Amino acid sequence: MSRYWSKVVAGLTPYVPGEQPKLPNLIKLNTNENPYGPSPRALAALRGEVGDTLRLYPDPNCDALKQSIAAFYQLNPAQVFIGNGSDEVLAHSFLALLKHDEPLLFPDITYSFYPVYCGLYGIEYRQVPLTESLEIRVDDYLQPNGGIIFPNPNAPTGRPLALAEIERLLRANAGSVVVVDEAYVDFGAESAVGLIARYPQLLVVHTLSKSRALAGLRVGYALGDAGLIEALNRVKDSFNSYPLGRFAIAGAAAAIDDRAYFEQICAKVIASRARLVSKLAALGMEVLPSAANFVFARHGQHSGAALAASLRERGIIVRHFKNPPRIEPFLRITVGSDAQCDALIAALSDILA
């Protein structure tokens, strides 16, 4: 049937999402889901949406959710854009803000959806190599560009970029948009949201999938100058005027408003990460400094593929990347509950012995 495909589709190499296995009794540490459930207030809000009003369209502007997000970050609602997961927000950002004559810049080891969006929208791009220690170096981005995008902390490495370095990049790059993808920022990195007032070219993208444990609800948002947000809205309203349903709007707003629960589960993940890193190091594994809800680790005597396969045989799923070759030895391991992490350590101890 491929003879009916458009040239764009025929030339695409689609993004490959993390495996969602159907097998029972697996310890799933491969997709960076939060081990703790959503806010009880969010669950109550979801239950409250069950009723006759589901026959009506949701608010296309998501005003209630925008108000909650704006209040949380001390911004104006006009500085908030809402999308169906941060992937949709990123997709609109590529088309609205990052498609220009000069190439888009992003790290060579990073979120693998970025080159996919470039292929989909016909955007020229240049991948900027991470350093030998797998860090983003701002000086490497001080070159002509049609935009810059990177996660902070980076994925899959987990390494954060200091806020002072992000500001140095913004000062040197006033002519194009800088998108900071902060999917994991709440687990220990410094958010760039506070720089928005001084840098109109800055767009910060967030998700409720990680730190607010709502991966199943599909809600993301962007924060930035009202002019950037208007560009995103123009694309959204030319694509899908109703990106979020009534459940998503209500549940997400309640989750944002429940600051205490958000801070509590982030602190628990951070504590579990420190405990996991210590135990991995005791097994002789090298673990990169992480400010995310996952760690990037390798063992000098075992390939990443072999370790991942051996763990799978023991009912534990982690993420392994074959490319680029210099990260092949690494495993990306989600920080699960302490019980899940203990099971991982026990399995690795058995494998390495």
Domains of the chain by residue range: 2-37+260-352, 40-258
* Per-residue pLDDT tens over the stretch 226-250: 999 999 999 999 999 999 999 999 9
Query: Strands 80-83, 220-224: parallel, antiparallel or unpaired by DSSP?
Result: antiparallel
First to last CA, the chain: 50
Q: 40-258 in CATH: which number?
A: 3.40.640.10
Q: Degrees (nearest 5) of the Cα angle 13, 308, 161?
A: 65
2-37+260-352 adopts what CATH topology? Aspartate Aminotransferase, domain 1 (3.90.1150)
Low-confidence stretches of the chain (pLDDT beneath 70): 1, 23
The candidate with the shortest Cα–Cα distance to 280, out of 291, 269, 292, 272, is 272
Other beta carbons within 10 angstroms of residue 172's beta carbon come to 12
The rounded distance, in Å, linking the Cα atoms of 19 and 58 is 31
DSSP 11-67: T-----PPP----TT-EEESS---SSPPPHHHHHHHHHT-SGGGGSPPPTT-HHHHH
**pLDDT at residue 1 in the model:** 59
Q: Alpha helix (H) ranges present in the chain?
A: 7-10, 40-48, 63-73, 85-97, 113-121, 163-172, 226-236, 246-257, 259-282, 304-313, 338-352
Q: What residue has token string 């999402």? A: 17
How large is the greatest C-alpha to C-alpha distance in the chain, in angstroms? 60
* Per-residue pLDDT tens over the stretch 130-170: 999 999 999 999 999 999 999 999 999 999 999 999 999 99
**pLDDT at residue 7 in the model:** 87
Query: Strands 178-181, 147-151: parallel, antiparallel or unpaired by DSSP?
Result: parallel
